[in-house]
């Protein structure tokens, strides 16, 4: 097991990708008006890309400009002081909803404006695990 300088376990790419498959909500990080912005989103990971339903607005605008974005997903248990975090960096682009409507996992959570789909290519992947108290 590889550890970073803070004693956190460094997760291998394959493990990071497996963890992405198990979570329904993540955070898309992008630039809006030259400032970093974070938005929670529901998503589906298809093995090569992260798919997010969205409407008009900042996330879609970032994707329309082929922006490099980050995407973060995590799971923590404060009571047991353990958990993990995975960060993906890649280009965002708009894909037609007709190309992904067959995916039952890419459900609409927002009541309005979810007609577009943003795809984030999985280019750079990193992850860390916080060890439980018995490993401190």
pTM attached to this predicted model: 0.84
pLDDT of residue 68: 92
Give the DSSP letter string of 35-81: EEEEEEEE-EE-SSEEEEEE-SSHHHHHHHTT-EEEEEEEEEETTTT
- The SS3 of residue 30 is strand
Q: Is the pLDDT of residue 136 over 60?
A: no
Q: Mind listing the pLDDT tens digit for each residue in 65-121?
A: 778 999 999 999 888 889 999 999 999 888 876 666 666 556 666 665 556 788 999
Residue at 3 is within a domain = no
CA gap 118, 116 in Å, rounded: 7
Give the pLDDT confidence of 21-41 residue by residue, as tens digits: 989 899 999 888 888 889 888
Q: Kindly report the CATH number assigned to the domain that includes residue 46.
A: 2.30.110.10
CA-based torsion, 76, 26, 86, 32: positive or negative: negative
Asked whether residue 1 is domain-assigned, the answer is: no
45 assigned to some structural domain: yes
Q: Which residue has the higher pLDDT, 62 or 80?
A: 80
The domain total for the chain is 1
Q: Which domain holds residue 128?
A: 9-135
């Amino acid at each position: 097991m590889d550890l970073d300088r803070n004693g956190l376990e460094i997760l291998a790419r394959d493990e990071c990708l497996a963890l992405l498959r198990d979570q329904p909500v993540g955070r898309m990080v992008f630039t809006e008006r030259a400032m970093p912005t974070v938005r929670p989103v529901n998503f589906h990971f298809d093995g090569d890309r992260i798919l997010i339903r969205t409407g008009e607005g900042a996330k879609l605008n970032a994707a329309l400009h082929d922006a490099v974005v980050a995407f973060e997903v995590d799971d923590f248990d404060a009571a047991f002081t353990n958990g993990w975090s995975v960060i993906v960096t890649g280009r965002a682009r708009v894909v037609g909803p007709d190309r992904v409507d067959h995916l039952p996992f890419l459900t609409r959570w927002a009541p309005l404006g979810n007609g577009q789909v943003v795809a984030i290519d999985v280019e750079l992947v990193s992850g860390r695990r916080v060890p439980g108290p018995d490993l401190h």
